[in-house]
Amino acid sequence: MPTPGSRRLVEIFERTAAVMEAKRDHLSDLDGAIADADHGMTMSLGFRAVAATLARTDAQRVTPSEIFRIAAGAFLDAVGASTGPLYASGFLRAAQRLEGTTRFDEAAAAATIEAIASGIAERGKGSRGEKTMLDVWLPAAEAAQQALRETPGRFWPCVQVAAAEGAEATRTMIAVRGRAARVGDRSIGHIDPGAVSALLILEAMASAFEDGGPDAEHQ
Ligand SMILES: [Mg+2]
């Protein structure tokens, strides 16, 4: 089955792996301020594993759903700790949501962002306002759905603004989850590293669309 959306999705994961590598030390520094300084290494390792696994996959032979299933497995294998199961759950939910589609257009992206958000929220039993990656994924998911309905021509700018505002908002929150919860009030003033890496993923997604990507002619 031809899968025009799959190459775009592979491109998104490649870009995400590259940006996590580039921002590895920055993310770890952010994590070091409130927790154990491993977030850059974790995300870099996880997405490098995803990109490497996808590089061995013929994108023309797999559907977007299968790509997310592959990504979930590779990420979980590479990252055993907290972030691993969270993103793996998000990617598996996206795989379910994308079953039956060969495209990866804005509507599919909106469904994907929503699926990742709800997969992470369910796995981590988390919600907004807890100074986590969900403070980016949940508002981005809402913005994506709203943009699809109301301002489809500005889909990615809307998603990116919501994601960036969500990340920035974590600065004034008190961490109640994970290692950062141990520092309590002292987490105030520090942006959450998981929120920043979530923003980077969404920016990588947007850039693959904005540059046209290998499948622009099919979308
Ligand atoms: Mg950490």
User: Residues 38-85: pLDDT tens digits?
Assistant: 999 999 999 999 999 999 998 778 999 999 999 999 999 999 878 999
Q: Is residue 217 part of a domain?
A: no
Per the structure, the complete domain to which residue 74 belongs is given by 4-210
Instruction: State in Å: Cα 42 to ligand 1 middle.
Output: 8
Q: Is residue 216 part of a domain?
A: no
Instruction: State in Å: Cα 207 to ligand 1 middle.
Output: 27
CA angle 73, 19, 51 (to 5 degrees): 30
What is the count of structural domains for the chain? 1
Global pTM reads 0.94
Residue 1: DSSP 8-state: -
Instruction: State in Å: Cα 81 to ligand 1 middle.
Output: 9
Instruction: Give percent of the chain with pLDDT exceeding 70.
Output: 95
Task: State the CATH number of the domain containing residue 86.
Answer: 1.25.40.340
Residue 83 CB neighbour total at 10 angstroms: 23
User: Residues 143-185: pLDDT tens digits?
Assistant: 999 999 999 999 999 999 999 999 999 999 999 888 888 888 8
The secondary element (H helix, E strand) that includes residue 21 is helix 4-22
Instruction: State in Å: Cα 24 to ligand 1 middle.
Output: 12
